[in-house]
Structure 1
């Protein structure tokens, strides 16, 4: 595929990412993706012959990698885990606030809508969440936590973050996210003390 084809494919994926995060899976039609991307209809079918689920799965994977990079950056900062997690949640809050609370977690909206009926998307969401949890757990292990305790704490931090993003998005306020960041700090400090 040439540079123009790659550019068109990237525009389709970027438009899909933005739209599904704001509107969800069912609120995002193929015509919406075409309009937002400026791509011709034939390009969508050329690049994604398996249809909407293939395009959404790729968009979710890329979005998951972006958040994964935020987690890795926080983990590699050398800060104590509690501080790194706070920075991560602040970055997610900044991202949400910059979108005017139109965006929260790039995976959650689709996960809630499709987990029961779209196996490919359920797997993509599950794999993304597992990668985030594994990265958080690895950070805790590097700072002295045993593996089982690190996995449990990472799961709790991820659940706090996901719930807080939802509550903050609905309230149009960072307060739930700020409170979750404080709770995550307390959990990690208690867990690593």
Structure 2
């Protein structure tokens, strides 16, 4: 089974299916009431220690299909952990901090008077507020293609927040996903921005699953 260290691999690992998980649970020779012993036995399979998952008797279901990405970690944290670091690298910390600091304060959004490069304990709301500004702030400072890739990620996150996934919304999701796929690698390499292995999962993990 692939772990987080493998997220940057340039190929898709086999999914963690319901059958695989249930087979692993059935192969554990330990009483679930022995909490410590059962938990340790599950750790060998990277299982959480739940003896009977709530979906175990659901026919024709698989967790890797119905557990879809959620906003806080897959959109806001992804943005701050990856997109912001790319922008800081290509624009420069001092320049991007200055651009954030001179923005007109708005009641509904956080004002980053000291910039964003030195922030600590950043909340999901602050990360969301940065997303409203980032494309406009880098558009004339980042190399061509970086702004397109970042804008594509922002569009993708925006469309995903809709309450209903109708067919025309799904089609719209494909456009920013493909724009990102087509521009990200070339633009980042030409700008000499190093993309850590974990960051490369954006092009082989979350976004291709929606396209």
TM-score normalised over the length of structure 2: 0.28
Bigger proportion of residues as helix: 1
TM-score normalised over the length of structure 1: 0.30
Larger Rg: 2
